[in-house]
Structure 1
Amino acid sequence: MSHSQMDAEQEGVDTSQNTPAYTLWQMVLYMLRLGALGFGGPVALVAYMQRDLVEQRGWISPADYKEGLALAQLAPGPLAAQLGIYMGYVHYRIRGATLAGIAFVLPSFLMVVVLGWAYVSYGGLAWMQAVFYGVGAAVVGIIIMSTRKLTQKSIGKDKLLWAIYLLLATLTFITETEIAWLFIASGVLVWLLRAPPAWLKWRGGGKLHGLTLLQFPVIGSLLSTQDASLLTQIAIFFAKAGAFVFGSGLAIVPFLYGGVVTEHHWLSDKQFVDAVAVAMITPGPVVITVGFIGYLVAGLPGAAVAALATFLPCYLFTVIPAPYFKKYGKLPGVIAFVDGITAAAIGAIAGSVLLIAKRSIVDVPTAIIAVLSIVLLWKFKKLQEPVIIVAAAVLGLLIYPLLHS
């Protein structure tokens, strides 16, 4: 091994591939920008990464992106944050994953802390309902366009993947939840049909599934927080949220409501709804709402503990299995498995889009804002999403008071 290779490995650079076309700091700056300007929630954020890192800049290969998306969907925790961590890992390993993850989360964390301070200091954010009225509708348009692109790129014209995609989209919409073991089952199905191993008998193949994943919430419920200090209670609860909730950042909302409002009585219903609204009107991962909740419960220490406890499990669930995805990801069986997982993941995302639309499109003005967002993004390919978000916020501030005076 040459000295340059040894030095590169000591620095955490992946020497198994060609020299990356970007520096680690370019990736960190990209993640900072995405965390500061990336609106639209997990669906839009993962689509931005595909557009920017794979299609436009060529930093990440389509295969690496697909592996990262599949791994992010396989593991519990927020989808976009895990994919961002994996993008940093691809060429710069642990150091890249760590810095990319911090850079992605930090801007929105700082924003929600400032909003939390304003909320506590000034007795709530009455204007937020008006802003969210417009922004929520625009977000629907943004994520519809993002999901369309993800579907075209990853599903194509493959009939088997389309069947899985439509099944998961339908089930997600009907049940209003993402069924974790179906992601695993989809991967196994495509694996068995496309690249079955010689030693695997059909009769025994059905034994490989992800039902054990469903036991995670049961394990989590065994962690008692009754006798702990407030910050310790926050740490344990939000660690469970990060470690035991599958799906996108939006999937964590029902879990948080059950613990924050119903179990611990840390927030009222109105405060919790405001917290979710803050997550939706700020860029970056939706799950950063945990920082706002933590601030309302225990100030800046509460915000920091809640955010760290939520994101640490998803970081570990990404970097620990990542080497095995990199090592074995090119095998036909793994490729087939990843294709199945990806189809299921994007199908579930599509179902979530319909759920968000159902809750955000509440009248004619919101429907018009959503349609306008779609038309503008369709017609003007280079139009930046933050421009639409700002315009929608202004429309919300103008229209909402007229309808609710």
Structure 2
Amino acid sequence: MNEQSSAGLAPAHPSFAEATKVWAKIGLLSFGGPAGQIALMHRELVEERRWISESRFLHALNYCMLLPGPEAQQLATYIGWLLHGTRGGVVAGTLFVVPGFFVILALSSAYALFQETNWLASLFFGLKAAVLAIVIEALIRLSRRALKTGFDRVLAIVAFLALFAFGLPFPLVVVAAGVAGYVAARHAPARRDAAHAAKAPDLPSVIGADYPDGKPTWGRAAAVVAVWGALWLAPFALIFATVGGKNVYTDVGVFFSQMAVVTFGGAYAVLAYVAQQAVETYHWLQPGEMVDGLALAETTPGPLVLVLAFVGFMGAYRAPIGVDPLTSGMLGATLATWVTFVPCFMWIFLGAPYVERLRANVALSGALSAISAAVAGVILNLAVWFGLHVLFGRVERLEAGPLSLPYPDPTTLHPAALFLTILAAASLLWWKRGVFQTLAICAAAGWLLMLV
């Protein structure tokens, strides 16, 4: 921490090279799905480096939660754009995906050749437990900042129950919270003023209350749509020019382009549909292989939606055109990843300047503030889901009318996973170790426990 920041002033604006190193670090350590990734970014960018204030972080996260696609990757793109413009957003969003993409490309190749993934469990056993502790720590910190009033806490609880116990659609929960916040801000100024007074002031940060907003114009919006739309469609022109119109690559590109605009709430929201189409319609996967693909994605850094790269790999691997199956699979995975993530950049670069201007609109800021409260419930839901699957070998689901409640089989508790989670919590909260050290400690401990 420099002298300015230690004296209570904002730290110096990071250079592009410095930011690039941090984005690469985040990309390499972004295990644990959206909850773990948001937790990691909050720790690195808000708490440790103070590159963005708590309120600006939550404002950006609220917008990303409303978009199709992986919210954590879009949040990285948004913050990168705030720091260094378009090039900053491109680097932040790309480095968030690239490490995980190369890992899942290698794992998909091994899976296609050997049809074996059991070794992954031992390799990443300790990492999962560490991520669970990181998520819990971040959730506590985020809740302290976002849940300052009774209204906020009620929204968070309702959002959690709607997702966890009733399985309501993710977009419905987030939009309903936004509507509630908008109405409250418009028609209950006393509650709004109380909420404002209850919120603790932000620490001085690079991107704080006085950081300049973007300047949205129609010309800029048209340029963003033209450039990123062309990049989105470019693979189809290349496919048509080289292998014609009707083939596995076209099918992969079209199908995952459609998924890119409907994946609200992340990968889990569309996994069932993708699995059904991949098995029954396109015959890219055998029954049960989607579960294996999800296991690969869950044990790699980057967004869980990278499971779509596994599907694209297997589809192209089994229907090669003019190349060997392994090369075809790599092309299919690359294509699926491209058409999944290029639209994410367009949503951010198109909408972020307008969203920044909304900070001055009281009613719309109230809506986004309410979404912040609901997001705490969303992250709690993700954390509980992740925790159940880390600590227990089998998770059942109670179905009773509208109730759809997951619960663990207590006889399948993993004592080693519980020990490693406690170890990770002690590393973070007691020994005050960083994320990288905690992950390394738990990975080594997990490996040793699996060998015993």
If the length of structure 2 is used for normalisation, what is the TM-score? 0.71
* Matched AA of 1:184: V
Cα distance between partner residues in 1 of 2:168 and 2:391: 20
249, 254, 259: which one aligns with 1:241: 259
Alignment match of 1:164 (pick from 141, 155, 159): 155
Q: 1:245 to 1:160 in 2, by over 3 A?
A: same
Which residue number in structure 2 is paired with residue 331 of structure 1?
361
Q: Which amino acid aligns with 2:390?
A: S
Could you tell me which residue of structure 2 aligns to residue 391 of structure 1? 444
> What are the Cα deviations for residues 362-394 of structure 1, in whole angstroms up to 9, with x where unaligned?
224233433443343332332424225513641
1:205-242 deviation per Cα after TM superposition (whole angstroms, max 9, x unaligned): xxxxxxxxxxxxxxxxxxxxxx9421111112222222
Which residue type is aligned with residue 377 of structure 2? G
**For residues 324 and 100 of structure 1, what CA distance do their matches in structure 2 show?**
20
Q: Quick one: structure 1 residues 22 and 235, their matched pair in 2 at CA, closer, same or farther if it must change by over 3 Å? A: same
**What amino acid is aligned across from residue 54 of structure 2 in structure 1?**
P
Question: CA separation in 1, counterparts of 2:275 and 2:293?
Answer: 10
Q: 1:26 aligns with which of 18, 28, 43?
A: 18
Return the offset for 1:164: 0.4
> Does residue 190 of the first structure (1) align with residue 208 of the second (2)?
no
Q: Give the superposition deviation at 1:351.
A: 1.5
**Counterparts of 2:248 and 2:446, CA distance in 1:** 36
C-alpha distance in structure 2 between counterparts of 1:136 and 1:265, whole Å:
32
Match of 1:284 among 302, 309, 313: 302
Question: CA-atom RMSD, angstroms?
Answer: 2.6
In structure 2, C-alpha distance between the alignment counterparts of 1:80 and 1:38, rounded to whole Å? 9
CA distance in 2: counterparts of 1:388 and 1:251, whole angstroms: 33
1:265 aligns with 2:289: no
Q: Deviation digits for residues 177-229 of structure 1, max 9, x if unmatched?
A: 5431221221221222134499xxxxxxxxxxxxxxxxxxxxxxxxxxxx942
The equivalent residue for 1:207 is none
Contact 1:24–1:96 under 8 Å retained in 2:
yes
1 CA distance for matches of 2:268 and 2:12?
33
Spell out the pairing of 1:70-85 with structure 2 (5 A cutoff): 70-85=62-77
Aligned to 2:87: 95
Task: Check whether the contact 1:176–1:355 (CA below 8 A) recurs between aligned residues.
Answer: no
Q: Tell me the residue number matched to 1:319.
A: 349
Q: Which residue of 2 aligns with 1:152?
A: 144
Q: Work out whether residues 39 and 386 of structure 1, in 8 Å CA contact, stay in contact via their aligned partners in 2.
A: no
Name the CA shift for 1:277/1:162 in 2 (closer, same or farther; >3 Å).
same
Q: Please tell me the residue identity of whatever aligns with 1:32.
A: A
Task: Report the counterpart of residue 122 of structure 1 in structure 2.
Answer: 114
1:230 lines up with 2:227 in the alignment: no
- 2:418 aligned residue: 367
Q: CA deviation at 1:306?
A: 0.7
1:333, distance to aligned residue in structure 2 (A): 1.9
Residue 170 of structure 1 aligns with an amino acid whose one-letter code is: L
- Identify if the C-alpha distance between structure 1 residues 357 and 48 changes in structure 2 by more than 3 Å, giving closer, same or farther: closer
Aligned to 1:382: 433
Q: What percent identity do the matched residue pairs reach?
A: 28
Hey, what's the Cα distance between the residues in 2 that align with 1:393 and 1:246? 34
CA deviation after TM superposition for structure 1 residue 300, in Å: 1.0
Tell me how far 1:168 sits from its aligned partner. 0.7
- Distance, in Å, in 2 between the alignment partners of 1:41 and 1:133 is 15
Residue among 350, 353, 363 paired with 2:383: 353
Give the letter aligned to residue 376 of structure 1.
Answer: S
Structure 2 segments unaligned to the other structure (5+ residues): 1-9, 190-244, 317-328, 393-412
Distance in 2, Cα, partners of 1:351 & 1:391: 28
Per mean C-alpha deviation after superposition, the further-off stretch among 274-283 and 89-98 is 89-98
Alpha-carbon distance in 1 for matches of 2:146, 2:445: 30
Letter of the 1:265 counterpart: H
Structure 1: gaps (5+ residues): 1-17, 199-226, 400-405
- Name the residue aligned to 2:200: none
Partner amino acid for 1:285?
P
Alignment of 1:99-118 (within 5 A): 99-118=91-110
- Deviation of the 1:311 alpha carbon: 1.0
Count of residues in correspondence between the two structures: 353
Q: For the residues of structure 2 that align with 1:388 and 1:238, how far apart are their CA atoms?
A: 37
Secondary structure in structure 1 of the residue aligned to 2:255? helix
